[in-house]
Amino acid sequence: MSTRRAWLAWLAFLGAGLAALGGCGSQSAPVTRPSLTVVTAPLPTSLVTAQGTWAVAVMGGSAASDNNFWQLFVRPAGASRWTLATPEGVADNGGLVAAGGAGGTSLLVGFRPSQGLAFSPLAASGDTGKSWTPGLLDADLADVPDALAVGTSGQALALLHDGSIEVAPTAAAAAAGHWSRLTTLGALAASAAGHACGLAGVNAVSFGVNDTPMAGGSCVRRGVAGVFAESGGTWQAAGPALPAAFGGDQVQVIGLASAPGGTEALMTAGTVLVAAWPEGTGWTVSAPVAAGTVRASGFGPGGSVWVLLGGGRAEAIGGTGGAWRALPAVPAGTQVLAPVTGGGYDALAVSGSRLTVWQLGVTASASWVQVQVINVPIEYGSSS
């Protein structure tokens, strides 16, 4: 059966039951903190698995007219060129979320609700997007790039729009729609760890050592990094201790990623960004870098982190003990960066249905060089 027909079968089978759930996932978060405006990372991002490097970007036209179409691209391991890999058969105007297990054997993609859907179809691929297996999450994924996570055993986490976290014990269970509630924003905020930070929102999920569920969020209490680990039904504070210089700022975790030895994090602290990596039983925290508006972010091999900022700025850091490096101003239309072998980056720039790939080397004199153009077949008006 084709991927499109499989999804249609899912929708036909589940339509009646899911209709009753419409609107459930759009509830307001049970905890409001007027003293903190929760900051989250935009959806465009990239990630690296054993299959290759993946990038998520939005193309097309106006979102108000439902002519914005989110796309997934892949650069297979060992290859130098990108190909379109967006799963077919489901409207993706609401955005795409992608996660790869620490082993990197497959990619899980979630579709954010749009076009009247109140739930999130899923798709999984183990062959760089050549074929997809459909799945289902009968709730609405959060509008953040790290709303999905896959562990080494295939266990999966999903962060919902209302701040709740769902868990599936295996990849097969996730595909079959067998998710269960792990916690809610209210419950996590009321826990000892959540209360100590004044948790205002959950922004990312991931897995730590031994597939320990991890969550990152925004804290009202100044100087506290809201990273939490779940064990035996109890959530404990697991965030790094930040230097005293950050004691006067509210900290918000905007990204989490599984890493050897634990979980790495990207955080805002006032007007700066910091990255943090696991080291033994603690963390190593980077020096701060001036942030401004975060337009996109992502994690790469070896603990590397990149961010796109306002005004064409881009910063990257190579991992534990590294220093932030200002990249040359990115080409116009750049939505996402993706690491390349040797420490350079590809910049994926969008203009309507045209994707232009620019590459940056690692030398001090390096500049962005155009290396590829992809014309994506977009059917404008097809979502209306």
Q: 382: pLDDT confidence band, cut at 50, 70 and 90?
A: low
State the pLDDT confidence band at 90, using cuts at 50, 70 and 90.
Answer: confident
Q: What is the pTM of this model?
A: 0.89
237, burial (CB in 10 Å: exposed 0-12, middle 13-18, buried 19+): middle
Average pLDDT over residues 18-28: 35
Q: Is residue 333 part of a domain?
A: no
Predicted local confidence at residue 24, as pLDDT? 34
Query: Could you tell me if 125 and 53 lie in one domain?
Result: yes
- The pLDDT score that the predictor gives to residue 362 is 80
Asked if 264 and 278 touch (Cβ cutoff 8 Å), the reply is: yes
Q: Tell me: the pLDDT tens digits for 289-320?
A: 998 899 999 999 999 999 999 999 999 999 99
What do you get for the CA distance between the two ends of the chain, in Å?
A: 26
Query: For residue 211, what pLDDT is reported?
Result: 92
CATH code for position 127: 2.130.10.120
Query: Are 267 and 256 within one domain?
Result: yes
Q: List strands edge to edge, sheet with 52-60.
A: 45-48, 52-60, 68-76, 83-84
Band of pLDDT at residue 103, cut at 50, 70 and 90: low
Q: With bands split at pLDDT 50, 70 and 90, how would you rate the model's confidence at 32?
A: very low
Residues 6 or more apart from 315 whose CB is under 8 A from it? 273, 289, 306, 307, 309, 324, 325, 326, 327
Are 177 and 189 in a shared domain?
Answer: no
Residue 53 in any domain: the answer is yes
Q: Which residue has the higher pLDDT, 13 or 217?
A: 217
Assess contact for 282 and 291: CB atoms under 8 A: no
- Using the predicted structure, report yes or no on whether residue 104 has a pLDDT greater than 70: no
Read off the pLDDT of residues 189-213 as tens digits, 9 standing for 90 and up. Answer: 999 999 999 999 999 999 999 999 9
Q: What is the token pair recorded at 63?
A: 């979102």
Give the domain-ending residue among 277, 302, 326: 326
* Residue 372 counted as domain residue: no
Does the structure show a pLDDT above 90 at 125?
A: yes
Tell me whether residue 250 is in a domain: yes
For 309-349, the pLDDT digits (tens) are 999 999 999 999 899 999 999 999 999 999 998 889 999 99
CA atoms within 13 A on the CB side of 46: 27
Average pLDDT of span 272-281: 92
Are residue 318 and residue 290 in the same domain, yes or no?
A: yes
Looking at the structure of the chain, the number of domains it has is 2
Q: Which domain holds residue 218?
A: 184-326
Please give the angle made by the CA atoms of 379, 383 and 384, to the nearest 5 degrees.
Answer: 115
Claim to verify: residue 166 and residue 273 sit in the same structural domain: no
- Residue 197 to residue 218: CA distance in whole angstroms: 8
One domain, residues 162 and 207: no
- Helical ranges in 274-337 per DSSP H: none
**Do residues 196 and 69 share a domain?**
no
54 shares its domain with 175 = yes
- Is 123 within a domain? yes
Which of 4-13, 98-107, 173-182, 239-248 is the least confident region? 4-13
Q: Please check whether residue 346 lies inside any domain of the structure.
A: no
Last residue of a domain, one of 154, 183, 212: 183
Closest listed residue to residue 322, CA positions, set 300, 346, 337: 300
Is residue 345 assigned to a domain? no
Same domain, 166 and 210: no
Q: Are residues 218 and 165 in the same domain?
A: no
At which of 156, 183, 210 does a domain end? 183
User: What is the distance between the alpha carbons of residues 102 and 97, in angstroms, rounded to a whole number?
Assistant: 16
Q: State the Cα–Cα distance between residues 161 and 141, nearest whole angstrom.
A: 5
Please check whether residues 62 and 99 belong to one and the same domain.
Answer: yes
Kindly state whether residue 102 falls inside one of the protein's structural domains: yes
Do residue 155 and residue 56 come from a single domain? yes
